[in-house]
Chain A
């Protein structure tokens, strides 16, 4: 190891002896690592958005239902504990927000159309924190109280139903005895959501109004809690689980929407695979360059060996060359990636392909998200795999027979 500074100097000089080749290789590595980081940031951004959107309509990081409700979301499987008792049992626990609501499948009808929707009977004051609808941006007005007689629907749904603010629609669902429960409502507001499908599938009415319509007294179908961070909901979960009656089903969001939960996990694996795939393409260039560099100076290596340099030092020199090359390339790539992602933080409008994105649950504006973890992962993977790939040419160089090497014509 005494030799390392000398070897490093030799390696660095050698790299710039054939600067054209080095620059080409550097740019390949730089572009490769840029692509790794940039694409990762894009997909991360997309998935984060999907999860954030998904959670925003799920709302509630931790939810309490009747054990049967998730399999059969009807009012037959409701929570009969009145709000007052719930409030008493959660007294003293610190949640960002909590609310109880009525969520049932329903049919919405106008003069010309009828559609299936998810009916949410909410207490607008309690849900302000949860809702993906920002109350102030609603055309018309949002619900004002739990016994509001109006209905707020999405703009897309209103278009489909051919209705508008001020007109009446009919909502139809089933009461606990499977009898039809229906009622007319006046549309008081239209909301817009980041995803068109939300606008089509959610309909808000007051909680008390919903309870009356469905004839369920003071019962609700779910109680929801908001924690501080959706990535870490366990503290909230434990707080809730301790206080909720054993007969009810307490779940974290990723246990309710397993698709979203899995998405989050798959993403980590995806980043690694993506990095490795790009590296495989890069490695051919890298190994080729090193092999060329070794062939080019067989006589030189022979001379060094003849002068008494140890084979291990030759090995080390080639490896150092490779590492220097990779490190420089990665550095350039990292800087490039940061520089290109920075101006795009405000979002990339991809509304041209919005429909396709919509199908997989992503919205039409992409916000790239750069995580330090991903950058470190890309760099470390490239360095380690690069080291392994350069072992073979380096090993070959160190095994030359000095006499043969010196006398080699070439």
Chain B
């Protein structure tokens, strides 16, 4: 193709026309939701409550993210867990505990295990992005709730995707807030569900302020993450996401 024609062609495709149908649409919704939640970079202070029928504990944490690959989470409260941290860099995950004074790379064998004793797995934390590329997405329904359009999206993992779920169903508002993220097994039974309990304007965006992960098969067990403070699109140094910073915080 001659270069002269290239530009008009590009302009043509740049129109907001769904160029690749339903899947693309749904995929874009999912991607936008994730990017909306995380931003190009972000700083969050949050409280995680782990609830079990006979006990409950809460932890306050600070988290930094940059791009798709890098994030760092550090526990602030309670005092005895202070300094425990998790660093994620390009699908690799490390944890640090000041008590043992060791950085441990989370091996693949532990990716399925619980993160800091919560109902989230290490994999949930480290690889939230997989859902964009490793799944086939389709819009199940569109409804309007309180004047906001809510899309229900079904995401079915590809045959060789490293995902155990049979399908996942997300409810995403048109302003990119995820209302619900449900994980179904391959028999179509609900295994766990992440729900947004409270939505608020924070850090210049509308986000889910309080989210709860519930395991469907164990009643009375859930983990809640509440955002206390959030900032988006902030300047973060690359040195933040390094092993030495995980070990010796310099913030």
Contacts and interface: CB of A to CB of B under 8 A. Distances in A.
Contacts of A180: 91-92, 108, 111
B185 to A, nearest CB: 4
Residue of B109, B112, B164 with highest tally of chain A CB at under 10 A:
B164
B63 to A, nearest CB: 22
A110 B161 CA distance: 13
A170 B108 contact: no
A184 interface: yes
B109 A107 contact: yes
Interface string A135-170: 000000000000001000000000000010001111
Interface residues of A, dominant DSSP = strand
B57 interface: no
A168 to B, nearest CB: 6
A73 interface: no
Nearest to A209: B160
B191 to A, nearest CB: 5
Contacts, number: 68
Interface string B80-100: 000000000001100000000
Interface string B148-179: 00000000011111111110000000000000
Interface in B180-194: 183, 185-186, 191
B186 to A, nearest CB: 5
Given A172-B162, A179-B91, A184-B162, A111 B157 contact: no
Contact of A172 (B111, B165, B217): B111
A96 B108 CA distance: 37
Nearest to A180: B108
A109 B165 CA distance: 10
A110 B160 contact: no
Contacts of A379: none
B112 A184 contact: no
Given A174-B108, A184-B163, A167 B186 contact: yes
Given A170-B162, A172-B162, A182 B108 contact: yes
Contact of B107 (A110, A163, A170, A174): A174
Contacts of A109: 112, 164
A186 interface: yes
Nearest to B109: A107
A173 B183 CA distance: 24
Interface of B: 91-92, 105, 107-109, 111-113, 157-166, 183, 185-186, 191, 217
Nearest first, the 6 A-B pairs at minimum CB distance are A182-B162, A114-B112, A111-B185, A172-B108, A107-B109, A180-B108
Given A110-B164, A149-B159, A167-B186, 7 more contacts: A109-B164, A116-B109, A179-B91, A182-B108, A182-B162, A184-B161, A184-B163
